[in-house]
A = this chain, B = another copy of it.
Amino acid sequence: MLPTRAHVLAQLFHQWHMTPQTETIPVSEAIGRILAKDALSLNTLPVVRASGCDGIAVHSDAFQNGIPDASQWKEGIDYVHADTGDDFDDAFDAIVRMEDVTFLEHGGLAFANHVEVKAGTDVRPRGNTVALGEFLLKAGVPLRPIDLAALVTGGLTSVLVYRRPIVAFIPTGSELVPAGTDPLRGQMVDANSILAKETLLSFGAIPLCYPIVKDAPTELETALDQALSEADIVIINGGSSKGVEDYNTQLLQKRGELICHGAAAAPGRPIGIAVIQNKPVVNLPGPTAATFYGLDWCIRAIVNRFLDRKMQKRETMTGTLTSDIALPSVMEFLNKMDVQKHPDGSVAITPLPMRETRPMASMTSNAMFVNEIGGPAYQAGDEITVELLRGTELI
C-alpha cells in the first residue's frame, strides 16, 4: 500500500526541520504577504478632534437656549467652515451640518428648526479613526488591499512578514524542447515550466525556473546541486517512474533522506520526496496532469509550511453527476470535471475520465474532484460537490 498524501506530508514535515524566517519589508510591497506578527497602530487619528460631517463649526454655548438668531454672524468669529475630517479652531466645539444651514444673501446664517447643538455635536474625537497601539491585523493572514490601507492609516511604513521561499523548478527529459520551439519527431513541448512558474507565484513563492536538463545522471546531479545552493525547495520534474532514464528518484535516495517514492495519489503516483541538506526536494512526475496535481497538494503544502500559512480551500459547487465515475478506491484520484449551470439553476457535473477525454479539454476544465480512499462509488444522478477551478460567474 502506498502512503497517502497526508501521511507523506506528515513524514516530510517531521524530517524537515523548518524554522520560519521573517523579513521586514515596506508596506507598499506587502500585498499578498503573510504577517509574521500582529500589527498595531503607531498613529492616533484624528490627531486632535475633527469635523464629523460637511458643515460649520460653532460655539455650542450659542445654542444653550435653543436656536440662536445668527443673521449677524460673521465667518471666522461666530463660525468657520469645517468639512468632514477637517480640523477647526479650538474656539469652536460643535458642528452644524451643511444641509441645516442657510447662508443669507448679505452675510449671516439661518439654521433649520430641528437643529440641536451641544458641545461635541458631530465632532469626531481624537483617535476616532485609529488610536496608538490599536490592533490592526493579526499574524498569519495574507494582506489584502484594504489591509494595506489599514496599515498605512496606522502609520506603519514597514511590516514583518514571512520570507517567501525560493522554489527551484528543474524540467528534465531528453524529449523536451522549450515552449515556442517547433517540435520535431520525438520531441515534446515543455509546458510544465510555465505552469510551475505561475502556480508558484500564486502560492506566494518565488519561482526559479531552470533550463531543461537531459536524462543524464551527471547533468541531473549538477542541476540539483545548483538548485540546492540557490533555493529553499527544489522540484525536479520528470524521470520519476520506472523508465531506464528515470534517474531522479535514485538521485534523491543517494543524496538525502528519501521520504517516499510513490504516494496513493494519481495522476503522479510515482512522486519521490526527500530531504537533502535540510531542504525538501520533490521529484514530481512529468505528465502535465501529474505536475498540476503534485503542485497543488504537495508543493503548495510545503510552501504554506514555509510561510506558516493555512492550506487554501477552493470554492465548491454541488450538482448532479451526468455519468458514473469509476474511481480507484485505493488512491486519492484527481478527477477533472466539467460543471455547467443551467438557466433553471440546476448544476450538471460531467466527469472527464482521463482515457476518454482530450488532454487539453481535461487540462483546461473548470472543476476537479478528489475522491477519498475507500470512499463511495459515484453514479449518474448522484449529488456531488466539486472544487471549482474558475470563478462561479464563468460556470
Residues on A facing B (Cβ under 8 Å): 27-28, 31, 41, 43, 45-48, 50, 54, 81, 83-87, 98-99, 128-130, 134-137, 141, 144-150, 152-155, 157, 173, 175, 179-180, 182-192, 194-195, 197-199, 201-202, 241-246, 286-288, 292, 310-313, 315, 358-360, 363-364, 389-394
Taking a contact as CB atoms closer than 8 A, the residue among B191, B311, B312 that contacts A150 in the complex is B191
Q: Is the CB of A85 within 8 A of B393?
A: no
Closest residue of B by beta carbon distance from A176: B85
Q: Is the CB of B148 within 8 A of A87?
A: no
**Smallest Cβ distance from A131 to chain B, in angstroms?**
9
Q: Known contacts A31-B198, A188-B46, A243-B84; decide if A313 and B392 are in contact (CB<8 Å).
A: yes
Number of identical monomers bound together in the oligomeric complex: 2
Q: Known contacts A130-B359, A292-B146; decide if A180 and B194 are in contact (CB<8 Å).
A: no
Q: Known contacts A87-B175, A153-B360; decide if A312 and B391 are in contact (CB<8 Å).
A: yes
What 7 pairs between A and B have smallest CB-CB spacing? A87-B186, A83-B243, A145-B198, A152-B179, A54-B243, A149-B195, A149-B191
Taking a contact as CB atoms closer than 8 A, the residue among B83, B152, B311 that contacts A180 in the complex is B152
Q: Is the interface of A mostly helix, strand, loop or mixed?
A: loop
Taking a contact as CB atoms closer than 8 A, the residue among B27, B286, B313, B389 that contacts A391 in the complex is B313
**Smallest Cβ distance from A165 to chain B, in angstroms?**
17
Taking a contact as CB atoms closer than 8 A, the residue among B152, B175, B195, B242 that contacts A86 in the complex is B175
16 contacts between A and B (CB under 8 A): A43-B182, A43-B183, A47-B184, A81-B244, A85-B173, A86-B243, A87-B175, A141-B390, A144-B198, A145-B194, A145-B199, A149-B195, A150-B363, A152-B180, A152-B191, A155-B189
Taking a contact as CB atoms closer than 8 A, the residue among B185, B198, B394 that contacts A47 in the complex is B185
Q: Is the CB of B146 within 8 A of A363?
A: yes
Which of A179, A288, A359 is the most central at the interface, judged by chain B CB atoms within 10 Å of its CB?
Answer: A179
Chain B residues closer than 8 Å to A312, beta-carbon distance: 391, 393
**Smallest Cβ distance from A347 to chain B, in angstroms?**
14
Q: Is the CB of A182 within 8 A of B155?
A: yes
Q: Is the CB of B98 within 8 A of A243?
A: yes
Chain B residues closer than 8 Å to A81, beta-carbon distance: 243-245
Docked pose: A128 CA to B313 CA in angstroms: 33
Q: Is the CB of A150 within 8 A of B185?
A: no
Docked pose: A162 CA to B130 CA in angstroms: 41
Q: Is the CB of A186 within 8 A of B152?
A: no
Chain B residues closer than 8 Å to A54, beta-carbon distance: 241-244, 246
Chain B residues closer than 8 Å to A128, beta-carbon distance: 359
Q: Is the CB of B313 within 8 A of A185?
A: no
Docked pose: A394 CA to B242 CA in angstroms: 41
